[in-house]
Amino acid sequence: MSGHVVLRARRENPLRVAGTECLIDRPPITGGNMTPMSLPAPTLHTARLRLRPFDDADADDLFALHSSAYVLRYWDSPPWSERVRAQRFITACRQMAEGGTGVRLAVDRVSDGAFIGWCSLNRWNPDYRSASLGYCFDDAAWGHGYATEAARVLLRWAFDTLDLNRVQAEADTRNVASARVLEKLGFVREGTLREDCVVNGEVSDSWVYGLIRREWRPSSEPVPAR
């Protein structure tokens, strides 16, 4: 499998204060009583994968993933150089769920329990019934269909639980692997954001993809959660 199974994350954090961290500086989405709407992160299962909330023990694996220039070749910010970034990332994931803006889940391989990446739905807007998909997987996990499998089970949970109507995703136009993953999931390429990102002086474009609820085709595999 050529390319890199990574989706850009800048739409999660317009200020890009902490690179790929989530919306820790955005106000929480509120309901009619103006109280925060928390979104407890689920644990989801497929035949080969377990998606679960992050915990502090994931910090070393996270740093290894996000410090790889090869894995983050098509990311929207440079690779991490400080281990503290991993703990900030985990804290931001908790704040995301507590603030009701989305969920980001660690992905473990069932066969050996290894952490292989993460998958997220961010910027959940209950009024617009929309959210944004993101994911990042270790290069050793590429080419096995893990990104498609993880994203599919998370999308199924989200459509069933959050009553979404639309999910959006963005990928570097050079990232053919992620484009294939999105298209397998039923996403439609809707346009190109020209010169949308600059990392270390390199300018790149982004493809915008959208998945509408009426076009969603979930797999037949059951999705137990606990």
- Specify the pTM: 0.82
- pLDDT tens across 30-44, in order? 444 434 467 889 999
Q: Regarding the domain delimited by 10-215, which CATH topology (the fold level of the hierarchy) does it fall under?
A: Aminopeptidase (3.40.630)
Q: Say how many C-beta atoms besides its own lie within 10 A of residue 208's C-beta.
A: 17
Separation of alpha carbons 81 and 72, rounded Å? 13
Which of 12-16, 22-26, 32-36, 146-150 has the lowest average pLDDT? Answer: 22-26
Which is higher by pLDDT, 6 or 64? 64
When pLDDT is cut at 50, 70 and 90, the band that residue 27 belongs to is very low
Q: How do the domains of the chain map onto residue ranges? A: 10-215
Run of H or E including 153: helix 146-162
Quickly state the pLDDT bin for 9 (edges 50, 70, 90). Answer: low
Assess whether pLDDT exceeds 70 at residue 6.
no
Strands (E), 76-157: 103-109, 115-125, 130-137
Distance CA(16)–CA(134), nearest Å, equals 15
- How high is the pLDDT of residue 197? 87
Strand ordering across the sheet containing 166-172: 44-45, 49-53, 103-109, 115-125, 130-137, 166-172, 202-212, 188-199
Position 1 pLDDT exceeds 50? no
Question: In this model, does residue 182 exceed pLDDT 60?
Answer: yes
The rounded Cα 86 to chain-centroid distance in angstroms is 16
Q: Is the pLDDT of residue 175 over 50?
A: yes
